[in-house]
Amino acid sequence: MQKVWIYLENGTFLEANSFGAKGTAVGEIVFNTSLTGYQEIITDPSYAGQFVTFTMPEIGNVGVNKDDMESKTAYCKGVLVRNYHHEYSNYRAEGDLCALLKEHNVLGIKDIDTRYITKMLRDEGAMMMIASTEISDKDELAKQLEKSPRIEDINYIEEVSTKETYIHKNGAWNHQKLRYNKAVMSDKKVVVIDFGVKRNILNELVEAGLEVEVVPSSFNADELIARFEAKEIGGIFLSNGPGDPLTLTKEKEQVQKLISANIPMFAICLGHQMLSIAHGFDTYKLKFGQHGGNHPVSNKGIVEITAQNHNYNVPDNIIEIADVTHMNLFDNTIEGVKYKNKDIFSVQHHPEASPGPHESKYIFKQFADIVK
C-alpha cells in the first residue's frame, strides 16, 4: 500500500495511505459536510487549487458515472477521506472513484482522521498544505510548501473556463426516466460567462426554458452589449468559479460595462461576488468557508436548506445599493441580493443543488421570467 505524507502550514505533519493519483501537490485545504455527491464535489471547478476533506466517513461506496460529472475533468488537488471503498454498489455506477482520481491526476488520501482535520480547520481556518507520495521528509515538505504560490495568488479561472463558445442543450436530470430532459428552446437566449460553471447550472437554465450559450471568461462586454441591443440575447448569467474574486481585475472591468448597459443579469457564487466587486464593494474571506449541502438560508422568513461552496462573501454594506433577499442562518452572512432599480440579482448558494436539496430551484425560473 502506497503511503502519502501531508504537511500543513500550521506545522501539522501526518502520514496516511494513498489511493488515486501519485505525486506531489500543493493547495488550500477545506472541509465539506455533504453526506452524498462526492463525485459532483470532486468535479466542481470551484474546487480548483483545493484539497477537499470529506466529513462523511464512507466515500467511494456508490462508485462513479459519466452523468454525475460537473465538468469535463476534476480540478481539485486532492481529497481526504476516513474510509475509502474500492468495491462499490449502485445500479448507476460505471467505475470506481480511484480510477476517476487517477484519470484526472487527483491525489486520494485515506485512513486519516478527518474529524481531527475538520476541527482544526474550524478552529484555525482554511490553510495551505502539501501532500506527496514521493517526499516523506517533514522539513522538505515544509520547504516545498513555503516556496509555492498561495491559492489567492493564482488565477484558476484561466484554467477552468471554456476556451471556445458552445451551446448547451441538456435540461435537468429526470430520475424517473433516467435521462436528461431536452427542454424546448425559447426565443430568448442567455449568455453564460464561464468562470468555472457547473454542468447542472446549465441544465437548470435550459430546464427553465432558456437557450444557453456559454462563452469564455475572456469575454468582450462590448460585443455582448451590441448583441443585447440587437435583441439577439435577453440576459447574462455569471457563473460560479474558483479562487479569490479580487484578483479578477480584467473580468471586473468587463462586468462593469455589462452593468452600465442595464442588461438583465443573474449570478451564482463567484458571479455573485463579481457583481459586488464591480459595483465597488470588495469581498472578504471567511475563516473556513461554507462547503456542504445542509446550510439553512432565510428567504424573507422562509427557510431553505441549500448547497454551499465558497470561501469568500459580499460585505454587509452592500445594502447601500442592493436589497438583501437571502441570509445564511448559520453565520448571518448575506446569501442573496437584488440590486436596486436594476434587473440584476444574485445568490451565494447553489440553487442547482448538485449535490444537495432542491428547494431553491425557483430562482432559475425567476431569471427566465425577467429575460422573457
pLDDT cut 90: percent of the chain above it: 92
Domain boundaries 157-371, CATH class: alpha beta
pLDDT tens digit sequence for 59-73: 999 999 999 999 999
**350 has catalytic annotation:** yes
pLDDT tens digit sequence for 33-67: 999 999 999 999 999 999 999 999 999 999 999 99
The average pLDDT across 338-346 equals 97
| The domain made up of 3-153 is a member of CATH 3.50.30.20 | yes
The average pLDDT across 213-225 equals 98
138 and 131 Cβ atoms separated by less than 8 Å: no
Tell me what pLDDT residue 356 has. 86
**Catalytic: which of 40, 304, 335, 352?**
352
Pairing of strands 179-180, 3-8: unpaired
Confidence of residue 178 (pLDDT cuts 50, 70, 90): low
Tell me what pLDDT residue 187 has. 64
Amino acid identity for residue 1 in this structure: M
The average pLDDT across 153-162 equals 95
The 10 Å Cβ neighbour count of residue 220 is 12
pLDDT tens digit sequence for 301-323: 899 999 999 999 999 999 999 99
Burial class from Cβ neighbours inside 10 Å (0-12, 13-18, 19+) for residue 320 reads exposed
Residue with cell 484558476: 156
pLDDT tens digit sequence for 3-36: 999 999 999 999 999 999 999 999 999 999 999 9
Tell me what pLDDT residue 354 has. 86
Distance CA 163, CA 182 (A): 25
Query: Quick check: 179 pLDDT over 80?
Result: no
Which has the higher per-residue pLDDT, 223 or 171? 223
Q: Phi and psi at residue 187, in whole multiples of 5°?
A: -85, 5
Query: Quick check: 158 pLDDT over 60?
Result: yes
**Catalytic: which of 207, 251, 269, 279?**
269
Q: Is 353 helix (H, G, I), strand (E, B) or coil?
A: coil
The average pLDDT across 287-299 equals 95
Instruction: State the sign of the Cα–Cα–Cα–Cα dihedral 148, 102, 204, 258.
Output: positive
Tell me what pLDDT residue 109 has. 98
Tell me what pLDDT residue 300 has. 86
Distance CA 252, CA 276 (A): 10
Query: What's the whole-number average pLDDT of the chain?
Result: 95
Give the pTM: 0.95
**164 has catalytic annotation:** no
Tell me what pLDDT residue 172 has. 77
Q: Is 274 helix (H, G, I), strand (E, B) or coil?
A: helix
Tell me what pLDDT residue 199 has. 96
Tell me what pLDDT residue 1 has. 76
Minimum mean pLDDT range among 31-45, 99-113, 186-200, 326-340:
186-200
**352 has catalytic annotation:** yes
Residue extents of the structural domains in the chain: 3-153, 157-371
Burial 151-168 (b: 16+ CB within 10 A, else e): beebebbeebbbeeeeeb
- For residue 76, is it left (φ>0), alpha (ψ between -120 and 50) or beta? beta
Tell me what pLDDT residue 185 has. 61
Amino acid identity for residue 229 in this structure: E
Q: How far out from the chain centre does Cα 134 lie?
A: 30
Query: Quick check: 157 pLDDT over 60?
Result: yes
Amino acid identity for residue 288 in this structure: F
Whether 3-153 and 157-371 share one fold: the answer is no
